[in-house]
Amino acid sequence: MTAAERTPGAEPARRRRGRRPGGADTRDALLTAARTEFAERGFDGATVRVIADRAGVDPAMVNHWFGGKEALFMAALDLPIDPSTLVAEVVPGDPDRLGERIVERFLTIWDHTGGGRRLAALVRSVASHETAAAMMRQMISRILVRRVVASVAPDRLELRATLVGSQLVGLGMVRYVLRLEPLASADHRTIVAAMAPTLQRYLTGPLD
């Protein structure tokens, strides 16, 4: 059969290559697909190609809109954090003061970027939606375990990471969601002085 003889519309459907019309629609479709994939398969199991297939776009759109899988993950989680920047800011320095740097950076991100409202929304979502909870688990595992905790911890990386995560999530809940005083309005120095020693023990001290 010649091309002229083919019935119009009989050509197999193909995914549109390149940027499809409606840029915001493409970005939103990628975020929706990413949340599903990351929740179901975890960060390591999810692939850019499968996420793009779910969204119905070319895989190149992930780099176009987000710069890569990790940035897409953070965008899907809706956190104002660049993981590479975060690690570069807290890991270098005295290992015995890592707890201080983590708490200070946590507070700076949420208080100085207007991220407190986003954190409050995320914590509420984690409490009621399994997709958000699964993605938060991935963030704690991938960022805290592999990049921050592993840089100083002598053993039991997973346990140490989840203990650190419990402190930070708890701080976020009390300060930004419940807004429980006096913690809700306490200055950074007060909070760091109170919490850093506990985080430091979780990072490098004995757990038994």
Segment 53-91, tens digit of pLDDT: 999 999 999 999 998 888 888 888 777 667 778 888 999
pLDDT higher than 50, residue 2: no
The pLDDT > 90 percentage for the chain reads 43
**83-204 and 15-77 share a CATH fold:** no
Instruction: Give the C-alpha distances (Å, rounded to integers) separating 9 from 6, 18, 56, 64.
Output: 8, 21, 19, 30
pLDDT band of residue 136 (cuts 50, 70, 90) is confident
Where are the chain's structural domains?
15-77, 83-204
Lowest mean pLDDT among 64-68, 160-164, 174-178: 174-178
17-24, Cβ contacts within 8 angstroms, sequence gap of 24 or more = 17/58, 18/58, 18/60, 19/58, 19/61, 19/64, 20/56, 20/57
pLDDT of residue 173: 84
Q: How would DSSP label each residue in 154-181?
A: SS-HHHHHHHHHHHHHHHHIIIIII--T
CATH for 83-204 is 1.10.357.10
- What average pLDDT does the chain have? 82
In this prediction, what percent of the chain has a pLDDT beyond 70?
79
Highest mean pLDDT among 9-18, 25-34, 187-196 belongs to 187-196
Angstrom distance (rounded) from CA 86 to CA 64: 23
Say how far apart CA 140 and CA 138 lie, in whole Å: 6
Neighbour count for residue 51 (Cβ, 10 Å): 28
Give the pLDDT band of residue 128 (cuts 50, 70, 90): low
What topology is assigned to 15-77 in CATH? Answer: Arc Repressor Mutant, subunit A (1.10.10)
Residue predicted with more confidence, 114 or 137: 137
pLDDT(119) > 80: no
Alpha-carbon gap, residue 205 to 208, rounded angstroms: 9
How far CA 122 is from CA of 81, 128, 147, 173, 202, in Å, comes to 13, 10, 22, 10, 24
